[in-house]
Amino acid sequence: MNTKKFLLQEKDIPTAWYNIVADMKNKPLPPLNPKTKKPLNPEDLYPLFAKGLVDQEVNQTDAWIEIPEEVRDMYKIWRPTPLVRAFGLEKALDTPAHIYFKNESVSPVGSHKLNSAIPQAYFCKKEGVTNITTETGAGQWGAAMSLAAKHFGLELAVYMVKISYNQKPYRRLIMQTYGAEVVASPSMSTRAGRDIITKHPNYQGSLGTAISEAVELAMQTPNCKYVLGSVLNHVMLHQTVIGLEAEKQMEMAGEYPDVLIACFGGGSNFSGIAYPFLRHKLLDGKDIRVIAAEPACCPKLTRGEFQYDFGDEAGYTPLIPMYTLGHSFTPANIHAGGLRYHGAGSIVSQLRKDGYVDAVDIPQLETFKAALLFAKTEGIIPAPESSHAIAATIREAEQAKLEGKQKTILFNLSGHGLIDMTAYDQYLEGDLTNGEVSDADIAKNIAELDKII
Ligand SMILES: *Cc1c(COP(=O)(O)O)cnc(C)c1O
């Protein structure tokens, strides 16, 4: 019998996160103060973020950062996650490729986001913070943060993009079940919200506005910090538990991936699985192809430009060096809401620039086709985001078949899609489109950026 699942035990949960920056020859460029265009000091970030997290954010020297025992204890609820050989998918594709996936969908909230929500809540709590704020689009990050905040006894306010608040009641209810306060954004509770409602009474919200509201509330509330679910260095750091476990599990399987694939929004699940393997490439010159799978409507790594840009639409954040489509870029309204972000984190952007990371962009219909095949052959209904990784994996497996070459592929299943069944309904009814983007539209938004690089 061939082994289907490679399982680790609680004692194998990593004891340290991997900080890839320590091993990078070219460090990422520093974030800049948008007014002075001078590099930011860690102290500039302390009012907004917990100090422990800022210190991780700027750490360029320690390759390993210890995971606090309280965090590991909570990881035990669902970690280590399984590594699975996708025999069913391989057979359906009739490919010589060996396909493995790391199943992050088994977390209580259904995605990898909890890996970072827990340490973020922990470091806030440790510093005497009582309240935290954040924003959420489709609700994956908000759900994870709600559970983590409750565990550490923190009050959480989540600004949820209004259109999702109305269209995706289940994730709102998950957050409320864990005890978070969920506010539809734009709201009347902040100046940023009131301003935009006054100007556009029917505005359905955006992540940019929700970020502005969450930041404003955090700055005005005593003992309150703001937390973010992707893009920042410390988020990527926390997610490396995925790849560190997968590294051991691939050893158990007696194979090493030739190709590693993850979907890409801001880069957290991608970095989480990729950095521990990229370490072999950086330090030992190991031959591994690492591919970020993006939506065709939001292709920052495939068609964007490496430039300083804001992290949010409104331009409140520091300037971050990133592959970007421009912060005013509005991607088509595809179902993979978690991938509709204009930029990529600064570490992964540097790695891309230095040739360590490949990217592909995939149209929406191809991702749903892949998702259905995966559901039918492996039993798991994937999140629309994760389906991008599956579609990219299928392309690689079909290529292996054409070349008649055995190849080992590992992809990250970042989440399940059981709360996204309306999206599947629309696909099955033939109501979805590809939602691509023209070169002119990309060029227009990039042209608005200050060319600092
Ligand atoms: C949020 C999310 C993503 C995209 O975010 P990254 O930071 O790029 O990982 C992907 N998959 C799932 C299931 C998500 O919830």
The answer to whether the CB of 230 is under 6 A from ligand 1 is yes
Q: Whose CA is nearest to atom 1 of ligand 1?
A: 338
Mutate-to-test residue for ligand 1 from 102, 111, 161, 231, highest number of ligand atoms within 8 A of CB: 111
Specify if 434 maps to a domain: yes
**Given this model, what pLDDT does residue 436 score?**
86
In angstroms, the CA 417 to CA 198 distance is 36
CA distance linking residue 67 with residue 170, whole number of Å? 32
Q: Which helix (H) or strand (E) holds 279?
A: helix 268-284
Q: Is 104 in the pocket of ligand 1 (CB under 6 A)?
A: no
147 confidence band (pLDDT: 50, 70, 90): very high
> Which stretches of 202-357 are assigned E, i.e. beta strand?
224-226, 259-263, 289-295, 305-310, 319-324
Mean pLDDT of 362-372: 98
d(CA 344, CA 55): 21
DSSP letters along 55-86, please? Answer: HHHH--S-SEEEPPHHHHHHHTTTPSPPEEE-
Whether residue 44 lies inside any domain: the answer is: no
Q: Can you give the pLDDT at residue 271?
A: 98
Tokens of 74: 């909570």
pLDDT digits (tens, 9 = 90+) for 222-253: 999 999 999 999 999 999 999 999 999 999 99
355: its two tokens: 């040739």
- Nearest-atom number in ligand 1 for the CA of 235 is 7
Look at ligand 1, atom 3, and give the residue with the nearest C-alpha.
338
In this prediction, residue 258 carries a pLDDT of 98
What average pLDDT does the structure give for the chain?
A: 96
Per-residue pLDDT at 333 exceeds 90: no
Residue 272 lies in a domain: yes
What per-residue confidence (pLDDT) applies to 1? 66
Percent of the chain with pLDDT over 90: 91
How many structural domains comprise the chain? 1
- 147 inside domain: no
Phi (first) and psi of residue 257, to 5 degrees: -65, 130
Q: What is the CATH number of the domain that holds 291?
A: 3.40.50.1100
Q: What is the rounded distance in angstroms from the CA atom of residue 342 to the CA atom of residue 361?
A: 14
pLDDT on residue 242: 99
**Cα–ligand 1 centroid distance for 32 (angstroms):** 26
- For residue 135, tell me if it sits in a domain: no
Closest CA to 245 of 83, 366, 372: 83
Tell me, using a 6 A CB cutoff, whether residue 140 lines ligand 1: yes
Q: Give the per-residue pLDDT at 313.
A: 77
Q: What is the pLDDT of residues 402-452, one digit of tens each?
A: 999 999 999 999 999 999 999 999 999 999 999 889 999 999 999 999 999
CA distance 406 to 400: 7
Pocket test for ligand 1, best of 269, 342, 412 (most atoms within 8 A of CB): 269
Cβ(14) – ligand 1 distance below 6 Å = no
- pLDDT category at 163 given cuts 50, 70, 90 is confident
Positive or negative, the CA dihedral 391, 395, 398, 404 is negative
**Residue 280 — very low, low, confident or very high, per pLDDT cuts 50/70/90?**
very high
Q: Which of 263, 301, 374 to mutate to test the pocket of ligand 1 (most atoms within 8 A of CB)?
A: 263
Residue 210 lies in a domain: no
Quote the domain boundaries for residue 311. Answer: 3-12+67-110+234-451
Write out pLDDT tens, residues 56-79.
Answer: 999 999 999 999 999 999 999 999
pLDDT of residue 55: 97
Give the model's pLDDT for residue 411: 99
Task: Classify residue 163: in a domain, yes or no.
Answer: no
**Residue, of 355 and 316, whose pLDDT is higher:** 355
In a domain, 20, yes or no: no
